[in-house]
Structure 1
Amino acid sequence: MSTSISKYPAKSLLVCIAGTSLTTQETLRLKHPLVRGVILFARNFESSRQLKALVQAIKNASQTPLLVAVDNEGGRVQRFKTDGFTHLPAMADLYRYFANANDDNSKRLDKHALSKQVREYPSKQCLTSVSDIGYLMAYECLSHGIDLSFAPVMDVDQGSDVIGDRAFHESPDIAAQLIEAFCDGMHQAGMATVGKHFPGHGSTKEDSHFHVPVDVRNWADIKNNDLKVFEKLITKNIVDGIMPAHIIFKQIADEPVGYSKHWLQELLKKQLNFKGVIFSDDLAMVGAGASAAKPLSYLERFEKAISAGCDIALLCNKPVEVDVLLSQIKPSDIGIAPTDINLTFENPKVNEVNHQEKISSAKDIIKKIKIWKSA
């Protein structure tokens, strides 16, 4: 057993479950003092009613509060799309739709590449709609008891296989405006924002789910492109949580960002003055297991993430490995949960009239975007 950490912070691991209801083994796992909660997947959804019951069962499984999260960002990455949930468009389509509507030559433009051809700042109408869609996404999750959707994607689209149209735009300045609007909508609904994938995955072609991405750019290129979005929105205190990328930026540090004290402690916390919660990306991804000598064990991955500065680590789709990890940590090795982790967002309540207007407006724009995409 590794002994590189003398005390593991309580409530610092997010796990997943297999189906649409809790098993006895999963209920026991959720009682473990290291487990902070659950991230849900499409396999956990059967209906709106079933999901609400499942979320309630998860929260009832422990005497201490458990967090329930999901990736419901929209487009290709949205776990719940029916029966109480609206299938959201890809974030890149929000800008593309309004750019198309405002361009006299729209019929000659490729709708799939439109944002690369139009570089004007988003209109007020576009920003309002983006905010409304952020509100809708957050509201639908919260109404089912889900605390967080890991959103928004703050990457800029510069050729990454895994990001692509998940990014709002390929221009950092335009992306920052759109992301700020989306975050505003989430906040109005009462959901904290979790920006990903710090300091930016959109310029790295390989998918860290299946590869160990290495970015060889220098600091100036990173700072003036990918990092620019994070810096702008962290400075405005709009980002409540951050999820770092499983990318090695070779000229900056020799480890993936989520394992790097330089990236998380020195740059994110000290230089950018980020005060929120840091979530690791999934420790089961190939990009999280790299080692010069041998593949890292899941305990080693967990330790490296926590030591680097992650408050909560995610280990998904590996229930056996989760149980092995938990068995390797004695109760006496677990400390107390940090008191400065705040996963709730206090906001003025939106009145019923404004609520209905936002929901109606968001659904109307989504319908129009689907028609435009299919034309």
Structure 2
Amino acid sequence: MAQQELSLAEKVGQVFMVGFEGTAVTPELAAWLRRFAWGGVMLFGRNTQSPTQLRALSQALQEMAHAHNHPPLLIAVDQEGGRVTRLKAPFTPFPSAALLGRLGSAQRASEVGRAIARELQAVGITMNMAPVLDVLTNPANAVIGDRAFGSDPGRVGCLGAACIHGMRAAGVLTTGKHFPGHGDTDLDSHVARPVVGRSVAWLEAVSLRPFREAIHAGVDALMTAHVLYTAWDARYPATLSPKILTGVLREQLGFEGVIITDDLGMQAVAEAFPWEEIPLLALRAGADLLLICHDRQRQEQAYTRVLHAVRSGELPASRLEQAVARIRHVKSWSARWAQEHPTHATLDRIGCAEHRALEGAVREPPLPGETEGGPHDARTVVC
């Protein structure tokens, strides 16, 4: 469906990704999804029981969107590997990014990214909120910790790019996070607002390097950090900062993909600004897709506020059109990939012998030289 065929209300719905309760599309859930024409849904453990159930849920969600002439949904999940893994057994329990970082093999990182994506793709998930591109420069940073590939920006960028290539090769959209870097913090933005006081020169040399490499690798989306970077913007955290999202990410780094917020319900933003103004601040800053994982009342309030703002001219219609166009672009890529691979979605790849063997190989102690950049098999690119 061409973008101009969407009504204004439907366009507003497209710039939201929402979470919901339940493991099936009930009539009540279908009516709610249909009413708001949400652009995407975010799945959690609360939405999953088994691969068969998850594929049925994904199919029902897409069939509902199609039946009402809405664009396909982005169906997303956090499947990073390690401790942030929403889909448990029988899905393959791939290890953390930190382990891949110690291994230092771009080939292995790409293989793991592809295997994770193949399992997601089999159950109808179109987008992974991974890889983590944060450079872990603060040892006290527990919220990121082993979710990061490590403390060296070059290695983080190299392995992140490899994961992106692997996931996209298996037909799953990628989301690098948390722009412009959550690795130097010591607070969890779920419960407080972290502050990074580093200089612009340091941020550009360290925090931004993996994001530059991810953009070069073709990352589809970047997720923002609810972190205050005083050298760039002493007032607004990155998620709400035009200086960072438009000035740094769009203009300086040249990113043309989707900018997605981290969950707007997290305390770092939800406690610092009036709730109904947060989605407008994010859109004005340059975000395209607003993530609200919990609380249906807040999801609806945010939608209504954006709709009224566009109707009144408070938010330029051109900003909404720009966001919708970017979202439609990644949806089109996903749809094209599915059309070109019509026999891809088989559940027997979940936890298959090939993936289990890969998981075991990655968990083995690295060979001499692998953590120091020493000699390797010629097929293995060392980061």
The normalised TM-score by structure 1 is 0.81
Q: Say whether 1:219 aligns with 2:200.
A: yes
1:183-203 deviation line (CA, Å, top 9, x unaligned)? 111121122221100010011
Q: Say whether 1:246 aligns with 2:226.
A: yes
Q: 1:324 to 1:95 in 2, by over 3 A?
A: closer
2:279–2:306 CA contact under 8 A, matched in 1? no
Structure 1 vs Structure 2 CA RMSD = 2.9
Q: Aligned runs of 1:1-375 on 2, under 5 Å? A: 9-33=12-36, 35-62=38-65, 63=68, 64=70, 65-83=72-90, 85-96=91-102, 98=103, 122=104, 126-159=105-138, 160-234=141-215, 236-253=216-233, 254-291=235-272, 295-297=273-275, 299-328=276-305, 333=310, 338-341=324-327, 342-343=329-330, 344=333, 362-370=355-363
Q: Which residue of 1 aligns with 2:369?
A: none
1:198–1:243 CA contact under 8 A, matched in 2? yes
Q: Which residue of 2 aligns with 1:103?
A: none
Report which stretch shifted further, 323-332 or 154-163: 323-332
- Structure 2 unpaired stretches of 5+: 1-7, 312-316, 367-383
Q: 1:367 to 1:264 in 2, by over 3 A?
A: same
- Structure 1 unpaired stretches of 5+: 1-5, 99-121
1:200-239 deviation line (CA, Å, top 9, x unaligned)? 00111111011111111111111111111112332x2422
1:189–1:350 CA contact under 8 A, matched in 2? no
Counterpart CA distance in 2 for 1:41 and 1:351 is: 26
What is the number of residues matched between the two proteins? Answer: 332
Counterpart CA distance in 1 for 2:145 and 2:117 is: 22
Task: State the shift of 1:368 in Å.
Answer: 4.1
Task: State the shift of 1:32 in Å.
Answer: 3.1
- Secondary structure at 2:259 match in 1: strand
Matching residue's letter, 1:131: S
The normalised TM-score by structure 2 is 0.79
Counterpart CA distance in 1 for 2:274 and 2:37 is: 20
Identity across the alignment (%): 33
1:153–1:195 CA contact under 8 A, matched in 2? yes
1:85-125 deviation line (CA, Å, top 9, x unaligned)? 211101111232x3xxxxxxxxxxxxxxxxxxxxxxx3xxx
Matching residue's letter, 2:299: V
2:81–2:93 CA contact under 8 A, matched in 1? yes
Q: 1:329 to 1:232 in 2, by over 3 A?
A: closer
Task: State the shift of 1:174 in Å.
Answer: 1.1
Q: Which has the higher helix share?
A: 2
